[in-house]
Amino acid sequence: MARQFFGTDGIRGRTNAGVMTADIAMKVGQAAGRHFLRGAHKHRVVIGKDTRLSGYMLESALVAGFTSVGMDVILLGPMPTPAVAMLTREMRADVGVMISASHNPYEDNGIKLFGPDGFKLSDADELAIEAGIGAEQTLAASPDIGRARRIDDARGRYIHAVKASLPDNIRLDGLKIVVDCAHGAAYQVAPSVMWELGAEIVTIGVTPNGININDRVGSTHLDAIQQTVVAAGADIGIALDGDADRLIVVDEQGQTVDGDQIMALIGSQWARQGRLRGGGVVATVMSNLGLERYLHGQGLTLERTAVGDRHVLEAMRKRGFNVGGEQSGHMILLDHATTGDGTVAALQVLAALVQSGKRASELLHLFDRVPQLLRNVRFSGGKPLDDARVKDAIAGAEAALTGKGRLVIRASGTEPLIRVMAEGDDAGLVERQVAGICAAVEEAAK
C-alpha cells in the first residue's frame, strides 16, 4: 500500500500545507486513538513537542482528535523525543506522540508516534493509522470523551532516568562543557543533567522563541559550538538537534566528532567492560568504511542497514545488539532508551572522558576516516533515479569503485533530494564519481 502520510520517521512537512495542517493532525489523533483503544482500561496518550511555533496548533488539534474518540491526554510540553518514548512506557500510556521535525527549520513540523512499549510504531500499525486518517471515525459518546491535563514533573522524571544511565561513582566534576540545545526540546533538561552531575556548563541554543530552532545552532550547524568551545577553554562540546535524539561532539580544539566516532568509542568501551551485546554495532550504509575497519580490528562487527534510525533499531532488536546509530548522530543505546537519545549518549562519552583521564582530542578520534563525499541534488518532480542517464552514470561509478570503495545512492525520505555518497581510499576517484552522478541527476531533473 502506498503511503500518503507516513515517511521514514513519522509524518513530516511544511506547516499549514500538505499533510501538516491542524485538520490532518486532528484526524491523526482520531485514527491513532481508535487504533490503540484496546482492552477495558481507561486509555491515555502522552504528547510532547519541541519549541516550534506551530507546536501549539498541532498539539491542540491532536488533543481534540484523541479526546474525541475517548482517550485521555497527558501533555508534557517541550521535551526531547526520547523523553516522550520513556514516559509513554513509564506512565502505562497506550500511545505516545512527539510533535517535531527534528533538525528541520521551524517552518516544518512533524508527528512521531510510539507504541505502549516506547518503541516507534511498526509498519503494520502505521498503515492501519493511514487507513483511519482517510476514514470516518467512530466518536466517543458524550460521557466517554477524554480529558486533557498537563503534568509538571515530566522534566524531573526524564532527568532522573538519564542520570541513572551512569554508574553512581561517575561524576563530572572538573569538566567544563559547552552544551548546544539548538533552541530545541532539550533546552532545559540537557544542561540540567550535566550540571547536576557536577560539570561547569556553558550553554548556547537555550533561548527558544518559536522560530529559531536549529537556526545556526545545534548538531547540524556546528560553527557556533566550535567557536564557543575554543573561546571558553572548555573540555568538550555537546551538540543536540531540535528534538534531542541526535548527538555530535566537539573536542577541546574545536574539531568535530561525528556519530561514527561516537559509536566506535561506546561500542569498544562496552565490549571491554563486557556490556556489549551482539558482538558489534549496527549502523547504516552511510557510516564510514573507517568505522568498519576499526571495529574489525577490535574483533567486533559492523552490521549495516538502510538509512534511518528505525531500520537501525529494527536490526538491533532482531539480532540482539544494544549499540547502534547513524553517522548523523542518532545514537541508540537499548540498555537505556528505546529510541535515539543524544543526552544519554553524551553521558557515555563524558564517562569515558572521566575514566580515561585523556583530553577529548586524544580519546574521541579512534580511526581515520576513509575519504567520503556526500552531495544532495534537489529536484522539483518526477523520479530522477529512473532516468536512463542516471542509471548509466551509477553503473559506471559502481564499476570504477569496485574493490576500491563504496557507492550509496538514495532518495531522501523527507525532502525532494537525491543523496549521492561515495567513499574510497582515492579521494580524487570518489570526487569524480560523485560529480558525474550529480550532473546526471541534475540533467534528468530539468
Helix (H) or strand (E) holding 423: strand 417-424
Residues 215 and 335 reside in one and the same domain: yes
Which long-range CB contacts under 8 A does 131-134 form with residues at least 24 apart? 131/31, 132/27, 132/30, 132/31, 132/32, 132/34, 132/35, 133/4, 133/5, 133/24, 133/27, 133/28, 133/31, 134/4
Q: What is the pLDDT of residue 164?
A: 96
**Sign of the torsion angle spanned by Cα atoms 238, 200, 157, 317:** positive
Residues 61 and 147 reside in one and the same domain: yes
Residues 337 and 386 reside in one and the same domain: no
Q: What is the pLDDT of residue 382?
A: 80
What CATH number did the domain enclosing 426 receive?
A: 3.30.310.50
Task: Give the range of the structural domain holding residue 411, as residue numbers without chain letter.
Answer: 372-444
Q: For the chain (length 446 residues), average pLDDT per consecutive 10?
A: 80 95 98 94 96 98 98 98 98 98 96 96 94 93 97 96 94 97 98 98 98 98 98 98 98 98 98 97 95 97 93 96 97 97 98 97 97 91 89 95 91 84 94 95 87
Burial class of residue 209 (count of CB atoms within 10 Å of its CB; 0-12, 13-18, 19+): exposed
Among residues 320, 345, 363, which one ends one of the domains?
363
> Residue with C-alpha cell 467512530?
138
Residue 165 lies in a domain: no
Count of domains for the chain:
3
Residues 220 and 125 reside in one and the same domain: no
Q: Are the C-beta atoms of 61 and 29 separated by less than 8 Å? A: yes
Residue 209 lies in a domain: yes
Residue 160 lies in a domain: no
Beta bridge partners of 6: 11
| Known catalytic membership, residue 68 | no
Query: Rounded to the nearest 5°, which phi and psi values hold at 437?
Result: -70, -45
Select which of 68, 102, 268, 328 is catalytic: 102
Q: Are the C-beta atoms of 101 and 108 separated by less than 8 Å? A: yes
Residues 339 and 195 reside in one and the same domain: yes
What CATH number did the domain enclosing 127 receive?
A: 3.40.120.10
Among residues 336, 363, 390, which one ends one of the domains?
363
Residues 334 and 386 reside in one and the same domain: no
Does this model's pTM top 0.95?
no
Residues 69 and 125 reside in one and the same domain: yes
Beta bridge partners of 443: none
DSSP symbols for 328-347: TSBEEETTT-SS--HHHHHH
Residue 36 lies in a domain: yes
**Sign of the torsion angle spanned by Cα atoms 386, 391, 393, 395:** positive
Among residues 363, 381, 403, which one ends one of the domains?
363
Residues 128 and 146 reside in one and the same domain: yes
Residue 99 lies in a domain: yes
Cell of 405: 570503495
Residue 164 lies in a domain: no
Radius of gyration of the chain (CA): 22
Residues 43 and 101 reside in one and the same domain: yes
Residues 331 and 222 reside in one and the same domain: yes
Residue 400 lies in a domain: yes
Residues 313 and 413 reside in one and the same domain: no
Residue 1 lies in a domain: no
Q: What is the pLDDT of residue 2?
A: 62
Residues 132 and 229 reside in one and the same domain: no
Q: What is the pLDDT of residue 266?
A: 98
